[in-house]
Structure 1
């Protein structure tokens, strides 16, 4: 990912928290020599492996898994994003842009097909998104077995994480505050979230 120095984030805790809060990502890998993408929820275990491990599962009917074992793949986690109007700067000769937050994770894919490991991945997924639920334990055993036969699990051994917080840091503080105030007046939630992130950045600058 192209990351100008002013937008780069290397704080591991910040990156880990972002992935957990925006865990529905897009996995990119080659299939039949062509780019292929799958939208999936991911679980991050930041304490396993050298750089952490992502895990999850996909439908066995999805052809993506058939060539993905041992591939180096990319997973993109997208946060809030918002259009930035040049009129908000209050100065001439300015152009529109887009502010956003994103994290890219790279690593080697390892497929998981044995039932015990698949059960663990599915249990962990439900526990993460619904901590008080016991839905997995209430499933009929035959039904659960049929479910496991229809999915493929995976673990991604992370070797690189990139973080980009594009929040107008390349502009003056005055401009950043004008943009923040304008974003707060927008109706969409993304604009308000970007405004909050910009305010936080200015407070910590």
Structure 2
């Protein structure tokens, strides 16, 4: 990912929090010159190894798991929004797109052990159901669930690198950023209001310095 230094985020806690809050990612790999991608939910275990590990599962019918070789990339997209040059109220400006994203690189391995696969599924259920008013639970050892588990493949990605990019107009003058925030708050397309909130956080942080 192209990351100019003023957009780079390296704070580990911030990156971990982002991945957990935007955990539906895209797994990319390449085999024989052809790129493949799968959209999947991921679980981050930040205390495994130097950089942590990602766990997940995919359908047995998805041939992606059979084709993975070497390094993989998981992209976690965050909020994004279009920025109109009219908001700057200045000449010689151009449109752009503000966004937040995290890229995770690592090595992929399949989970063949039944107990380990069960743990991935239980942890996934707990993670995504924990905020529900009446969290759903199940016994994965029932005959129906055991049959269902035969139709999926669990996996682990040992993380080797995490890249974070928060492109929020930080390189623009402060008054231009503030005008952009005010216009973006009125927008209903894309994730404009969330981007406006993140931009305002940066502005407030700058003003406190």
Tell me if both proteins adopt one fold, taking TM over 0.5 as the criterion. Answer: yes
Cα contact 2:30–2:68 (8 A) shared by 1:
yes
In 2: Cα distance, 1:83 partner to 1:189 partner: 8
SS in structure 2 of the partner of residue 61 of structure 1: coil
Structure 1 match to 2:175? 174
RMSD: 1.3
Alignment of 1:133-144 (within 5 A): 133-137=135-139, 141-144=142-145
Cα contact 1:88–1:182 (8 A) shared by 2:
yes
What is the CA-CA distance between 1:148 and the residue it aligns to?
1.1
In 2: Cα distance, 1:177 partner to 1:184 partner: 11
Structure 2 match to 1:105? 104
Structure 2 match to 1:81? 80
User: Structure 1 residue 114 and structure 2 residue 116: aligned?
Assistant: no
SS in structure 2 of the partner of residue 136 of structure 1: coil
Alignment of 1:176-191 (within 5 A): 176-188=177-189, 190-191=191-192
Structure 2 match to 1:35? 35
In 2: Cα distance, 1:43 partner to 1:92 partner: 46
CA deviation digits over 1:33-59, x for unaligned, max 9?
310000000000111111100000000
SS in structure 2 of the partner of residue 119 of structure 1: helix
What is the CA-CA distance between 1:177 and the residue it aligns to?
0.3
- TM-score normalized by the length of structure 1: 0.95
Structure 1: segments with no counterpart, 5+ residues? none
Sort the Cα spacing of 1:158 and 1:140 in 2 relative to 1 into closer, same or farther, 3 A: closer
Cα contact 2:57–2:152 (8 A) shared by 1:
yes
TM superposition outliers: structure 1 runs of 4+ over 3 Å: none
SS in structure 2 of the partner of residue 186 of structure 1: coil
Structure 2 match to 1:68? 68
Cα contact 2:81–2:97 (8 A) shared by 1:
yes
Equivalent residue pairs, number: 203
- TM-score normalized by the length of structure 2: 0.93
Structure 2 match to 1:46? 46
